[in-house]
Amino acid sequence: MPRLLLLCTMVLLASCAPPPPALVLDTGTVSAGELITTVRERGSRLRSLSGSGSLAFESPSMSGSAFFTLALRKPDSLLIQLEGPFGIDVGTLLLTRDRFVLYNSLENTVRTGPPDPAVFRSVLPVDLTLEQVMEAFSGVFAIQGSPADVRRYEVDGDRFRLVLGCGDGECTYWVDPASAMVTSYRQADRDGRVLVEAAAGALEEDGAVYAPRRIRISLPVSGRRVSVAYSRMIINDPAPPFVFTIPPGAEVLEQ
């Protein structure tokens, strides 16, 4: 009993941990290097996530929405079950760095193989990399590059604005000083054409760890966008439910 009581007390204290202190919104006080380091450290605190909600997608050829339940473990494990209107199952996607398993309940087929954007496009009509899929559901946008790549650093309204060289173009990040999270970012090519835009909002805090309830990723060149809205989430779920059983009789298609 004493051991159980101690365990419960530790869990309670962890869940009631105060949020980390806000950054001073001043580029003279907080250097670009310090901001990048803090953003990465705060982002690493989100290790797992489970929850449910809705997602919407748009493309030139079609648009739609679905409900989802999700288990996510950073950096590269995701199980998502999609459900369409009227409770009709759409499918289940288990995704890791090396492999995917995609079940289509309408066709009773299972596809498996190495992950690539074509797999994600079969679920949503949006071309996303594995990293972008994880960002779309975690809302943690990583700052690419190092302080040596910084081209501009300034205060923009109530956020930091950081511009880094990104390939042959630029990546721009807007950082919320209270949470030290990237709440918007934009990637542009050398001609200034925007390739990716993303935003995260309605931040939830639990045990000094932040996660957004609303995430949006847009690909302006192709006119595609996916939006995620959580109605329920567990931040740093100690045991996210990675359980998926292939239904009997399903045709397995190796990719």
Could you tell me the CATH number of the domain that includes residue 200? 2.50.20.10
Determine the pLDDT at residue 15: 47
| CA 88/CA 131 separation, integer angstroms | 28
Q: CA torsion 140→145→151→155, rounded to 10°?
A: 30
pLDDT tens column, 194-250: 999 999 999 999 988 999 999 999 999 989 899 999 999 999 999 888 887 777 888
Indicate the residue type of 255: Q
Q: Within 13 Å and on the Cβ side, how many CA atoms surround 171?
A: 20
31 within a domain of the structure (yes/no): yes
132 within a domain of the structure (yes/no): yes
Mean pLDDT computed over every residue of the chain: 86
For the chain, how many structural domains are there in total?
A: 1
248 within a domain of the structure (yes/no): yes
Instruction: Please give the share of the chain, as a percent, with pLDDT higher than 70.
Output: 86
pLDDT tens column, 110-144: 888 887 766 666 666 667 777 888 888 999 999 99
Position with higher pLDDT, 178 vs 103: 178
1 within a domain of the structure (yes/no): no
Identify the domain containing residue 210 by its residue range: 21-254
Q: List C-alpha distances in Å: 250 to 107, 112, 124, 219, 243.
A: 8, 12, 22, 34, 17
- pTM here is 0.85
13 within a domain of the structure (yes/no): no
9 within a domain of the structure (yes/no): no
**The tokens of 237 are what?**
């779920």
143 within a domain of the structure (yes/no): yes
Q: Please say if the pLDDT value at position 3 is more than 60.
A: no
7 within a domain of the structure (yes/no): no
